[in-house]
A and B are shown apart, each in its own frame.
Chain A
Amino acid sequence: MPIDSHTYYCTYGPMVLRRCRKLLGDDQLARDAMHDVFVLVLSRADSLDDHAPSSLLFRIATNVCLNRLRTRRRRPEDGDPDLLVEIAEHTDPAARTAARAALETLFRHEPEDTALIAVLHLYDKMTLEEVAAEVGMSVSGVRKRLYKLRTKLHALEVSS
């Protein structure tokens, strides 16, 4: 059944905007990202499952923002996105600076879904079960991805 884009936007737009604002830390960037999210979603409107769209929108918004963070030029005035700082602290509180640098490397080279899983679990505080449901994987699959991420991060710290 075709979705009513106006109703869809009014219902979920503010939630998507808040999500983008939280990850990007900038209102204008967040509004641009929100537009990207709705372009992606509405361009696939014919095949959308209208059951609980907030999960889909949340996931797409997260990926859009992660892509923007990946491509953001690392200027000093950009500061550190809270997202990376929080994940770094959760991953290795003792080596915050090294972990943050390593995470930036990982976020540039890891598959998109691994970065998404890391954000959902370490930043959004989703349980493994919630992450699994969110990304459509098994709990053990999610656990393996996080384990590999921690292992790579540790290896990067050791080599740096």
Chain B
Amino acid sequence: MTALPDWLVERAALDEIPPASRERVERANAAELAARIATLREDNTRELASHPAAPALAQIEARVATLKRRRARRRLMLLGIAAAAAAAIAIVVVARPPRADAPTIAEAETTRVKGATRLVAFRQHGDDVERLEQDALVRAGDVIQLRYNGGGRGYGLIASIDGAGVVTLHFPLTEDGSTALSSGTTTLPNAYALDDAPRFERFFFITANEPIDLQQSLAALRAFARRADSATASPDLPPGLRQWSLRLRKPK
């Protein structure tokens, strides 16, 4: 008679034995199983006494709240802002002459991101757009549109970190998406509304000649985002990756 694996003893202790495992549990040595369950329950008691749930849950729930805000923002972005941006382009080009002091997206097309690898950000101001240079001042609610050129490198990701230490992935759209870049200059399909994170928003364009391990790069960025010098330093990325960043400042 072989001993039950740990995971199955855990399920038995929680009275959540899967149907596919019932026969296996029934064949097990009942006394030995009972002893292992008792040991687990003692360990549970010790763990919750030495590390009470309330402080841990407070941290977890704060992170959940941040994550939910991010998801809501992304939903908003997906549902509305791309359409609004497209409408704005149409309005600018078709119905309204642009202001003399602000390039429209149509004009910005002439400011191509060509040649070397680059990432360019534009801010939408009503019907107009403004190209954002390094350390441009931005505010919560500003809508940012990104454009990239891989400069001959076939793969890439675009992510931003903010002053609250949160990392947001912009390209690919999901963490299991392909990192293959479009050739030439490409505008991301979705704009991005800044939240009220303090101090700065820093966009990273990371490229490679081979498919990028997104999880690995995001983990590196997440660790980097928690550093005190994340506004100015460079993240330590896996070999073979090149990085560019564009930092936008928030008002103090």
A residues neighboring B (CB under 8 Å): 5-6, 9-15, 17-19, 22, 31, 35, 38-39, 42-43, 52-55, 58, 67-68, 70-71, 108-109, 112, 124-127, 129-130, 132-134
Contact = CB atoms under 8 A, between A and B. Distances in A.
B57 interface: yes
8 contacts: A9-B56, A14-B43, A14-B44, A14-B47, A68-B219, A108-B213, A108-B216, A133-B19
Most chain A Cβ neighbours within 10 Å, of B24, B48, B53: B53
A21 to B, nearest CB: 10
Given A42-B64, A112-B176, A13 B53 contact: yes
Interface of B is mostly: helix
Contacts of B59: 35
B9 to A, nearest CB: 10
Contacts of B57: 5-6, 9, 38
A130 B48 contact: no
B60 A15 contact: no
B57 to A, nearest CB: 6
The A interface is mostly helix, strand or loop, or mixed, namely helix
B6 interface: yes
Given A15-B10, A42-B60, A10 B215 contact: no
A14 to B, nearest CB: 4
Contacts of B5: 124-126
A13 B47 contact: yes
A50 to B, nearest CB: 11
B10 to A, nearest CB: 5
Contacts of A18: 6, 10, 40, 43
Contact of A43 (B43, B48, B68): B68
A38 B64 CA distance: 9
Contacts of B95: none
A6 B60 contact: no
Contacts of B83: none
A82 to B, nearest CB: 12
Interface string B1-38: 00001110011011010111100100000000000000
B11 A39 contact: no
B167 to A, nearest CB: 13
Interface residues of B, number: 37
Contacts of A108: 213, 216
B18 A58 contact: no
B219 A67 contact: yes
B47 A17 contact: yes
Contacts of A55: 11, 16, 18
A137 B157 CA distance: 31
Contacts of A53: 16
Contacts of B19: 133
Nearest to B52: A10
B84 interface: no
Interface string B210-246: 0001011001100000000000000000000000000
A70 B56 contact: no
Nearest to A10: B53
Contact of A54 (B6, B11, B44): B11
A140 to B, nearest CB: 15
A39 B57 CA distance: 9
Interface centre among A31, A38, A53, A108 (most CB of B within 10 A): A38
B135 interface: no
